[in-house]
Amino acid sequence: MLEAGVTPDEAVPTIEKMVEDGVFSYDTYTDEQAIKDAEDYNNGYGWDECLDDWFDDVEKGVV
């Protein structure tokens, strides 16, 4: 963004600060980790409660 010809000079300090603050950074979440998290959740709460939670999330539009 900083080197794009359409980026106004006035926006550069804001973008630089956002980069410094990590706004554009993210942690990757692998399929393997998602599967492990799902298995851990299921083992902790049981299939029925996990399914109920999932249906609740679907109704809320989270899924």
pLDDT in tens, 4-62: 889 999 999 999 999 999 998 888 899 999 999 999 999 999 999 999 999 999 999 99
The pLDDT assigned to 36 comes to 97
Is residue 52 within 8 Å of 45, Cβ to Cβ?
no
Report the C-alpha gap between 57 and 62 in whole angstroms. Answer: 5
